[in-house]
C-alpha cells in the first residue's frame, strides 16, 4: 500500500505539540517507515494518547474550559440545551483564564486524532473555536480534548465527551395558548370534547419546522391534519362516541432535507381513551 505522506505529516505536526519527547517518537517512526498508513496512525494515536494522559496528570498552569452549542432544532421556549443529533454540527469554544487568550496556541483533538480533519483546522494561534460534525450513528460518543499554550510554555487543557442523541417528540395540550401540560402515553376525553395537540420536536438536524414531514396515523391508517399549522393537530371526539372506546394516534416526523439519513427521524404514539 502506498503511504499517504500528507496524512503522516499532519499527524506528526500534532504529535510534536503533544509529545514531550518527540525525538523518541521520531526514532520509533523511522523503524516502521515501511509500514502501511494504518500502522503509522495506530502508533501515533497510541503515543499521543499516552502523552495526553501524562499532560493532564501534571496539571494546568491556567484554567481552560470548553463550552459548546449544537445546531439542532428545539422549541423556542425550551430552557434546556440543544443536543447534537446524527450528522449535526457542533461549535466548541475554549475559554482560557489567561492573559491575552487570543495569543495562545490551541490544539484540538477529536477521538484521539482519528478524524477527517488535518493540520491547520486542528491547531493554530488564536484558534479557540472549533467546528465538528457528529457521526451518523446515534448513541456514538465523541471524545474532545483541547490544549492551549502561551509563548512562555505555560499551558492549560480541558476535555469532554459528547454523545449523539436521537430526535424526540413531545406533545402538549393547548389550553388558552398555554401548552405546559405534556401528554404522556394516554389522553382521556369525553364524548363531544375537543382539544388541540401541539407537536414539540427536539434535536432534528434543522433550523426550523419547514424541513419536517408530519405523517399522522389513526389506528394504523394515514390521516390528514385539518388544521392550518402542521405542528398543531385539532382533535374532536364525536358526541356519539361510546365510553370505554379507544384509538391509537401515531405521529412520524422525517427530515425532508436529509431523506437518506434514516436516523434523523422520530415517532411518538398517544392512546386516546373515551371516558364518561
Nearest C-alpha neighbor of 234 from the set 192, 194, 181, 189: 194
Rounded mean pLDDT of 24-40? 51
Give 96's pLDDT tier (boundaries 50, 70, 90). very high
CATH architecture of 62-165: Sandwich (2.60)
What phi-psi label fits residue 186: left (phi over 0), alpha (psi between -120 and 50 degrees) or beta? beta
* Interior/surface letters 135-156, b for 16+ CB within 10 angstroms, e for the rest: ebeeeeebebbbbbbbeeeebb
User: Domain 168-274 sits in which CATH superfamily?
Assistant: Immunoglobulins (2.60.40.10)
Given a contact cutoff of 8 angstroms between Cβ atoms, the answer to whether 72 and 83 are in contact is yes
pTM: 0.71
Average pLDDT over residues 26-49: 53
What pLDDT score does 46 carry? 57
At 275, is the secondary structure helix, strand, or coil? coil
| CA gap 208, 69 in Å, rounded | 16
Q: What is the pLDDT of residues 145-184, one digit of tens each?
A: 999 999 999 999 999 999 999 999 999 888 655 555 677 6
pLDDT of 120 > 80? The answer is no
Look at residue 237 and tell me whether its pLDDT is greater than 50: yes
Amino acid at each position: 500500500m502506498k503511504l499517504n505522506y500528507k496524512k503522516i505529516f499532519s499527524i506528526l505536526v500534532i504529535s510534536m505539540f503533544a509529545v514531550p519527547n518527540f525525538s523518541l517518537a521520531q526514532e520509533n517512526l523511522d523503524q516502521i517507515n515501511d509500514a502501511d498508513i494504518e500502522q503509522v496512525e495506530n502508533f501515533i494515536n497510541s503515543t499521543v494518547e499516552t502523552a495526553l494522559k501524562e499532560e493532564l496528570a501534571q496539571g494546568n498552569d491556567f484554567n481552560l474550559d470548553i463550552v459548546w452549542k449544537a445546531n439542532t432544532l428545539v422549541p423556542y421556549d425550551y430552557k434546556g440545551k440543544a443536543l447534537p443529533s446524527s450528522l449535526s454540527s457542533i461549535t466548541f469554544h475554549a475559554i482560557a483564564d489567561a492573559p491575552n487568550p487570543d495569543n495562545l496556541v490551541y490544539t484540538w483533538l477529536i477521538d484521539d486524532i482519528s478524524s477527517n480533519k488535518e493540520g491547520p483546522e486542528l491547531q493554530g494561534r488564536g484558534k479557540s473555536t472549533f467546528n465538528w460534525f457528529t457521526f451518523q450513528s446515534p448513541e456514538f460518543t465523541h471524545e474532545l480534548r483541547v490544549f492551549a499554550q502561551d509563548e512562555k510554555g505555560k499551558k492549560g487543557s480541558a476535555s469532554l465527551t459528547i454523545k449523539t442523541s436521537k430526535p424526540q417528540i413531545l406533545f402538549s395540550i393547548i389550553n388558552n395558548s398555554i401548552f405546559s401540560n405534556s401528554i404522556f402515553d394516554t389522553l382521556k376525553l369525553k364524548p363531544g370534547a375537543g382539544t388541540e395537540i401541539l407537536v414539540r420536536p427536539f434535536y432534528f438536524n434543522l433550523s426550523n419546522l419547514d424541513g419536517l414531514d408530519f405523517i399522522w396515523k389513526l389506528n394504523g391508517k394515514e390521516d390528514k391534519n385539518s388544521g392550518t399549522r402542521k405542528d398543531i393537530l385539532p382533535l374532536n371526539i364525536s358526541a356519539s362516541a361510546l365510553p370505554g372506546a379507544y384509538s391509537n394516534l401515531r405521529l412520524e416526523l422525517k427530515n425532508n432535507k436529509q431523506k437518506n439519513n434514516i436516523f434523523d427521524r422520530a415517532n411518538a404514539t398517544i392512546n386516546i381513551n373515551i371516558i364518561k
